[in-house]
Amino acid sequence: MSQAPTLSGRPEAPSTSEGYTGLLGWVTTIDHKKIGILYLWTTLAFFLMAGIEALLMRTQLMKPENHFLTPEAYNQIFTMHGTTMIFLVVVPVLLGLATYLVPLMIGARDMAFPRLNAFSYWIFLFGGLLLYYSFLAGGAPAAGWFSYAPLSERPYSSTAGLDYWALGLLAVGVGTTASGVNFAATIVTLRAPGLKITRLPLFTWMVLVNAFVILFALQPLNAALTMLLVDRQLYASFFTPATGGSAILWQQYFWAFGHPEVYIMVLPAWGIISEVIPVFSRKPIFGYEFVAGSTVAIAFLSFSVYGHHMFAVGLGHPFNFGFSAASMLIAVPTGIKIFNWIATMYGGRLRFTTSMWFALAFIIQFTMGGLSGVTFAVVPADWQVTDTYYVVAHFHYVLFGGTVFGVMAGIYYWFPKMSGRMLSEKIGKIQFWLTFLGFNTTFLVQHVLGIQGMTRRVYTYPNFPHFGTENLISTIGAFLLGFSVLIFLVNIGWSLARGKPAGDNPWEAWTLEWATTSPPAEHNFDRDPPVKGRRPLWDLAHPELADWKVEKSV
């Protein structure tokens, strides 16, 4: 492969070996664009698996005292649904989008460590396959995605499922940590000339902050998984109360990871929204500094709120007060972002593309999820709703209504850049409305179910008044949601084959990834575009109205 001349003396990244084409080219690639695409297809496959698991769960729950699934089967399926969605779908799809986009957005040739980048993908795939192998090796893990001790210990979970869970997650965690190192190094050292940190596209900024959260948040999980494996395989006693260990210690370590993890799952999505909304409002983002600064605040605060997952453990007033206050506080910087996105749209000339629809739905649904979350930052309220479907509704609103809708906005936005073709707007809008309807039908009613007292993490429920009807509504919504995913697949397939050619910059956007071809050449850029502000392509297209002429400082 020919190498482009080194851009401005920055280090040259190695390319794939000469002569590998086709499948072997994909397997040996260290090109960030190909690795990003590998992540996207793989997470799509895991999304479909976890979606089927969800439909199985909803079928079991559609009427009281149903026997579609045995309790043992249900426990394995809900554990795998949660574990897959969190570790094998949401986190990797965001890392995959970032892997594809970040070097392009900063005008670089590739990531700082291209081979480490490939390693991150392959160990993620390996970890995922290891986890799913458990189905064939005696049974999947069945202790929930959070595997509380002592249920997760050998006396209560004697099949190998939990060992596969721990090993699979260790592998995936190593890959994620490596990505964190890679993004931090790339964004800090490989920016194009003129691209100061204060001029970073917000998606890249969020990925940078996220990288630091990853570096510090994954390690408590690695420690806890190590200790669990030592307990299970070497007959030790970290978490077994019967032999002197502490089951609560597992919860402390797990949630010290688990809470920052949910921010890892949302920070890049906020970045996507911060790219999409300004472009389709034809206005620069309102309050760039506040969006960037509030993100850093959230990153720090995210480590100080984990105790709110343990309010019902009985750890005492000081513990509860402290974490309750911090949990309420963290809502503030999040709210700041919502206001900034809305202010960006105010006075703009809105373009209602499919991507924009998903972004708008994100704002509404994520806000709803955030509001329901802050209601149980209040400790007594948490005591009432913990372990009910109210919590399930909350986190699906932020993770699905939020992050997944954000990812869809990002896919509709960047698919033209990655493939050279537009996704069909007609099919896209149909898909959007079906997804929106399906999602809200499934999860809105779960708030009610939770307040009425329906327990989560159980395979069936008694025939209390309204429970059956409400669960049926939720199940119908779930199948509608499943159908909308099929429409999404149809759109992708059809558009890859026959979509309209996209051109370099179909959305008239402003950041550097749109300054090269669609799809980009292997070396990304022929030469550095001049960067004097936050919207280099706007400045090039409108020399008299360039940001750096109009604004005081960018």
Residue 118 Cβ vs another protein, minimum distance, rounded to whole Å: 17
Considering the rule CB under 8 A, would residue 469 count as an interface residue with another protein? no
Pair of tokens at residue 291: 């969006």
Name the residue nearer to another protein (CB basis): 238 or 415: 238
Q: How far is Cα 219 from Cα 175, in angstroms, rounded to an integer? A: 12
Residue 253 Cβ vs another protein, minimum distance, rounded to whole Å: 6
Cα Rg, the chain, nearest whole Å: 23
Site string for another protein, 155-194 (x = CB under 8 A): ----------------------x--xx--xx---------
Among 49, 170, 192, 227, indicate the residue that binds another protein (CB under 8 A). 227
Name the residue nearer to another protein (CB basis): 249 or 554: 249
Residue 416: is the preceding peptide bond cis (ω within 30°)? no
Considering the rule CB under 8 A, would residue 412 count as an interface residue with another protein? no
Tell me the CA end-to-end span of the chain in Å, nearest whole number.
38
Name the residue nearer to another protein (CB basis): 19 or 244: 244
Interior/surface letters 83-103, b for 16+ CB within 10 angstroms, e for the rest: bbbbbbbbbbbbbbbbbbbbb
Q: Which residues lie closer than 8 Å to 97 by C-beta, 6 or more apart?
A: 36, 39, 40, 268, 272, 407, 410, 414
Helix ranges restricted to H, 238-302:
247-264, 267-281, 288-301
CA-based nearest residue to 145, from 533, 512, 549, 457: 457
Considering the rule CB under 8 A, would residue 216 count as an interface residue with another protein? yes
Residue 249 Cβ vs another protein, minimum distance, rounded to whole Å: 7
Residue 282 Cβ vs another protein, minimum distance, rounded to whole Å: 38
Looking at 26-34, 57-65, 243-251, 318-326, which segment touches another protein (CB under 8 A)? 243-251
DSSP string, 122-153: HHHHHHHHHHHHGGGTT----STTTT-TTTTS
Considering the rule CB under 8 A, would residue 230 count as an interface residue with another protein? yes
Among 236, 297, 444, 490, indicate the residue that binds another protein (CB under 8 A). 236
Considering the rule CB under 8 A, would residue 237 count as an interface residue with another protein? yes
Name the residue nearer to another protein (CB basis): 303 or 538: 303
Looking at 136-144, 201-209, 233-241, 354-362, which segment touches another protein (CB under 8 A)? 233-241
Name the residue nearer to another protein (CB basis): 245 or 268: 245
Considering the rule CB under 8 A, would residue 238 count as an interface residue with another protein? yes
Q: How many CB atoms lie within 10 A of CB 289?
A: 9
Residue 367 Cβ vs another protein, minimum distance, rounded to whole Å: 32
Considering the rule CB under 8 A, would residue 101 count as an interface residue with another protein? no
Name the residue nearer to another protein (CB basis): 115 or 351: 115
Percent composition of the chain: helix, strand, coil (DSSP 3-state, to 5): 70, 0, 30
Q: How many CB atoms lie within 10 A of CB 438?
A: 20
Considering the rule CB under 8 A, would residue 391 count as an interface residue with another protein? no
Pair of tokens at residue 150: 């002592």
Considering the rule CB under 8 A, would residue 245 count as an interface residue with another protein? yes
Residue 128 Cβ vs another protein, minimum distance, rounded to whole Å: 22
Residue 184 Cβ vs another protein, minimum distance, rounded to whole Å: 5
Considering the rule CB under 8 A, would residue 249 count as an interface residue with another protein? yes
Looking at 134-142, 217-225, 454-462, 537-545, which segment touches another protein (CB under 8 A)? 217-225
Looking at 17-25, 200-208, 212-220, 378-386, which segment touches another protein (CB under 8 A)? 212-220
Looking at 15-23, 99-107, 224-232, 332-340, which segment touches another protein (CB under 8 A)? 224-232
Residue 240 Cβ vs another protein, minimum distance, rounded to whole Å: 10
Q: Which residues lie closer than 8 Å to 272 by C-beta, 6 or more apart?
A: 97, 203, 359, 406, 407, 409, 410, 413
Among 55, 151, 223, 331, indicate the residue that binds another protein (CB under 8 A). 223
CA-based nearest residue to 389, from 470, 323, 308, 327: 470
Considering the rule CB under 8 A, would residue 244 count as an interface residue with another protein? yes
Tell me, what DSSP letter sits at residue 531?
-
Considering the rule CB under 8 A, would residue 224 count as an interface residue with another protein? yes
Q: How far is Cα 268 from Cα 262, in angstroms, rounded to an integer? A: 11
Pair of tokens at residue 7: 């851009």
Among 4, 55, 160, 215, indicate the residue that binds another protein (CB under 8 A). 215
Q: Which residues lie closer than 8 Å to 501 by C-beta, 6 or more apart?
A: 420, 421, 422
CA-based nearest residue to 210, from 261, 255, 158, 282: 261
Q: 400 to each of 217, 265, 354, 372, 442, how far by Cα in Å?
A: 22, 10, 17, 14, 11
Residue 474 Cβ vs another protein, minimum distance, rounded to whole Å: 38
Angle, vertex CA 398, rays to CA 392 and CA 404, nearest 5? 110
Residue 244 Cβ vs another protein, minimum distance, rounded to whole Å: 5
Considering the rule CB under 8 A, would residue 478 count as an interface residue with another protein? no
Interaction site with another protein (CB under 8 A): 177, 180-181, 184-185, 215-216, 218-220, 222-224, 226-227, 230-231, 234-238, 243-246, 249, 253, 256
